[in-house]
């Protein structure tokens, strides 16, 4: 799968959910189920996530127009 779900995480900057290839749920269903309740999430291309995790706590993303919110399942 070439998409990832990201959401804000105070400890690590941005959390990244990697869907299991065999999962039959849509990305929206996974996000609703696995992103903590009330947190905004975005569905992004793998290429949009930095490969270097050295400064992961400093990663930023604009969640002002999210694709959804966690805990909606």
Contacts of 52 by beta carbon, 8 Å cutoff, 6+ apart: none
Give the range with max mean pLDDT: 39-43, 47-51, 53-57.
Answer: 39-43
Residues 17-34 have pLDDT tens digits of 999 989 999 999 999 999
Q: 0.75 cut: is pTM over it?
A: yes
- What is the phi/psi pair of residue 71, to 5°? 75, 20
Separation CA 37–CA 49 (nearest Å): 23
């Amino acid at each position: 799968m070439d998409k990832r779900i990201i959401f804000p995480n105070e400890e690590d900057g941005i959390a990244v959910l990697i869907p299991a290839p065999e999962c039959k749920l849509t990305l929206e269903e996974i996000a609703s189920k696995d992103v903590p309740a009330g947190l905004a999430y975005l569905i992004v291309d793998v290429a949009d996530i930095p490969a270097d995790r050295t400064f992961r706590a400093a990663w930023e993303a604009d969640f002002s127009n999210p694709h959804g919110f966690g805990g909606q399942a």
